[in-house]
Chain A
Amino acid sequence: MDERQVGSLSFSIDFSQPLYEQILTQMRSLIARGTIGLGEKIPSVREMAHELKINPNTVMHAYQELERDGLTEKRRGQGTFATTSMMKIKQFKERFALEYAQDFLENMHSLGFNLNEIHTYLTRLSQEKGHRKND
């Protein structure tokens, strides 16, 4: 795992996994969590390729997917920016939240857990996580 810096943003690149998905996932997260703020400029394809030492086409494909997600928008002659619409980010997060939650529920149901039991697990996990954070 390589930690690499693009401007003020940190990326971790693992060459044993497909690079396209790593760029896409990390950029999505940076925008969804607000590390890259609304309407903020995102690094150019060239800058990303140079700093991460990866093929610019890989970065470009990930950027095209971000645009389809509604998370970014191109401005002519100025580059690519995070969306200015809070609404779009919310929609994007909701889409994934539903997907992740559904996968999780299906897995738990297939093991025969009911909603009450599932809830117990979730509470236990989040408490443990809380403890760890306080350590």
Chain B
Amino acid sequence: MTEPIIIAEQISKSYGRKQAIDHLSLTIEKGSVTGILGGNGAGKSTFFRMITGLVRPDSGRLTVLGEEPGWRTNSQIAYLPDRARWYGNYTAEQTFDWGSNILPGFEKSEALRLAELMNLPLDLKTEGMSKGQEARLMLILCIARSVPLIVLDEPFSGIDGSSRERIIEALIDAISEKEQTLLISTHEIYEVEGLMDDVVFLKDGAVQLTGNAEKLRTEYGSIYDLSKKMGD
């Protein structure tokens, strides 16, 4: 089952004088859960925007699902951007109807199941939601889709403990039932510690360390502890 779904070869991107991505090379395996870790400004969000074609590399080559990122690949990717927001006057259920019409692979029945699992009231308008409820809604829009690749940028930021637990459970189901490839960037490593198959540490837009989570544990201890060491 070693079939790559993302291949980055020496990709670079700069914004003015800031080198956001610096000759980054990396392969993501199909069906894996990969944690993209690193401090602020390490290049995680920029890398995710490149995967979804929102940002093009200045140089190097990026292949996603066998081709260059663009509208064709995006129909097969569910992407949760950092700082995701939703329209205030839609209820959760109306949002799911919107998803059924617009988002390829979106299954409303799955969204309703997830909403129940994650304790999200269907008749609640987004403007009346807590930050945690809105984050759960955004996440459901992603993981209720039968697409091969799910990209989640900081899915836990600003979300309380019980919502986090529900999100983790929903992700566990997504991995086991749909064989989806999952890319997660997060500062909350403890939450996803047991979920990751592979780990990529980014620093200054390049790979600092990467490997199989179980092997890294044998060598360095927990990923959480390792991330602290990497940050120093």
CB within 8 Å of B: which residues of A? Answer: 13, 15-20, 45-46, 49-50, 52-58, 60
Contacts and interface: CB of A to CB of B under 8 A. Distances in A.
B168 A55 contact: no
A55 B193 contact: no
30 contacts: A13-B194, A15-B194, A15-B222, A15-B224, A16-B225, A17-B217, A18-B214, A18-B215, A18-B217, A19-B194, A45-B176, A46-B172, A46-B176, A49-B172, A50-B172, A53-B172, A53-B191, A53-B193, A53-B194, A53-B195, A54-B194, A54-B195, A55-B172, A55-B196, A55-B197, A56-B175, A56-B176, A57-B175, A57-B197, A58-B214
Contacts of B173: 46
A9 B169 CA distance: 19
Nearest to B212: A18
A58 B176 CA distance: 10
B176 A49 contact: yes
Given A46-B173, A57-B176, A16 B221 contact: yes
A13 B172 CA distance: 17
Given A49-B172, A50-B169, A16 B194 contact: no
A52 B195 CA distance: 10
A52 B172 CA distance: 11
B175 to A, nearest CB: 6
A58 B225 CA distance: 21
A50 to B, nearest CB: 5
B115 to A, nearest CB: 18
Interface range for B: 20 to 34
Contacts of B2: none
Contact of B194 (A45, A46, A52, A60): A52
B37 interface: no
Contact of A55 (B175, B218, B221): B175
Given A46-B172, A55-B195, 4 more contacts: A17-B217, A19-B194, A55-B194, A57-B176
A19 B191 CA distance: 15
A108 B181 CA distance: 49
Interface in B156-200: 168-169, 172-173, 175-176, 191, 193-197
A127 to B, nearest CB: 36
Contacts of A52: 194
Contacts of B221: 16
B28 interface: no
B33 interface: yes
B28 to A, nearest CB: 16
A52 B169 CA distance: 10
Contacts of B33: 55
Contacts of A55: 33, 172, 175, 194-197
Which of A19, A20, A52 gathers most chain B CB within 10 Å? A19
B135 interface: no
B150 interface: no
B217 A15 contact: yes
A16 B225 CA distance: 8
A54 B171 CA distance: 10
Closest 6 CB pairs of A and B: A54-B194, A56-B176, A16-B221, A15-B222, A18-B214, A16-B222
Contacts of B194: 13, 15, 19, 52-55, 58
